[in-house]
């Protein structure tokens, strides 16, 4: 019991000038759940008791817990209390096939959707200039999206293309590749680079994860059959849900 209470005491989660108490408590509990310190089906102390242990008001506890319920990691059972929900089923995606997010979710029988964060014509970043082979002064068509599967936020994607390939980024809604296929400019191969990174506060808020949570970053450069690079996409994918799988074959000796 003493060890369980230590998880909720203010010295375990509160830091001066690090934001409102309810946000700090929310981030702390979210991280504890992700790390397994609060395993599935474990019960949180009642609201009044948790407020006493954490040395905060019941309103603060209620706001933190409500956010975790909204995130889908806690559930409130009538007459029983608040419990940690079992983890969501993981999604595996092969790295050996060039599929868009929408195409892959279709194969999995899931409904994909997107929230457009920003789209338009912009001056390219150095990464975009190099990946797409742009000349000085050229602009880039960029579409920034929050990607969902069955209403669960899974990924953030920033897709950039030369303006002659995508003259009007406003036409992109859910599937970029549907737009490219209709125009006859869909890529046929791609090179992907994968790294583990930690979320910034802004990106964490969009993905409903705690600041600093580990995610997978994938940079993809896609090419036409001619070899011309026509798409550079940088994506952040939730590592608690998403698995990327690569099949390896023994090379000739």
Q: Which of 109-118, 176-185, 235-244 has the lowest mean pLDDT?
A: 235-244
Q: What is the DSSP letter of 164?
A: T
CA distance 99 to 232: 14
Percentage of the chain exceeding pLDDT 90? 55
- Residues 189-229 pLDDT 10s: 999 898 999 999 999 989 888 888 889 999 999 999 999 99
Which pair of structure tokens corresponds to residue 66? 């409500």
Instruction: Mention every residue, 6+ apart, whose C-beta is less than 8 A from residue 80.
Output: 43
CA distance 34 to 24: 15
pLDDT band at 93 (very low <50, low <70, confident <90, very high): low
User: Bigger pLDDT: 13 or 86?
Assistant: 13
CA distance 4 to 25: 15
CA distance 186 to 222: 9
Instruction: Name 216's bridge partners.
Output: 196, 237
CA distance 19 to 236: 25
**Model pLDDT, residue 124:** 95
- Residues 37-70 pLDDT 10s: 899 899 999 999 999 999 999 999 999 999 888 8
- Residues 143-152 pLDDT 10s: 999 998 887 8
pLDDT, average across residues 165-170? 95
**Helix (H/G/I), strand (E/B), else coil: 67:** helix
């Amino acid at each position: 019991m003493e060890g369980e209470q230590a998880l909720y005491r203010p010295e375990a989660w509160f830091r001066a000038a690090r934001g409102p108490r309810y946000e700090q408590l929310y981030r702390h509990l979210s991280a504890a759940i992700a790390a397994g310190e609060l395993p599935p089906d474990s019960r949180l102390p009642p609201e009044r008791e948790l407020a006493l242990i954490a040395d905060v008001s019941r309103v603060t506890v209620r706001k933190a817990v409500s956010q975790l319920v909204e995130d889908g990691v806690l559930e409130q059972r009538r007459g029983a209390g608040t419990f940690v929900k079992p983890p969501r089923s993981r999604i595996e995606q092969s790295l050996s096939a060039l599929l868009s997010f929408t195409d892959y979710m279709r194969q999995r029988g899931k409904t994909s959707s997107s929230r457009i964060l920003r789209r338009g014509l912009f001056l390219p970043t150095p990464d975009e200039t190099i990946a797409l082979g742009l000349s000085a002064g050229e602009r880039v068509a960029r579409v920034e999206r929050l990607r969902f599967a069955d209403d669960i936020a899974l990924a953030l994607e920033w897709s950039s293309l030369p303006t002659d390939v995508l003259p009007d980024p406003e036409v992109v809604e859910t599937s970029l590749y549907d737009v490219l296929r209709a125009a006859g400019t869909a890529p046929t191969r791609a090179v992907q680079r994968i790294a583990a990174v930690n979320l910034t506060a802004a990106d964490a808020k969009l993905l409903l994860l705690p600041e600093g949570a580990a995610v997978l970053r994938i940079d993809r450069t896609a090419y036409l059959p001619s070899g011309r690079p026509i798409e550079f996409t940088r994506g952040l994918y939730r590592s608690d849900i998403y698995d990327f799988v690569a099949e390896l074959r023994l090379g000739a000796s």
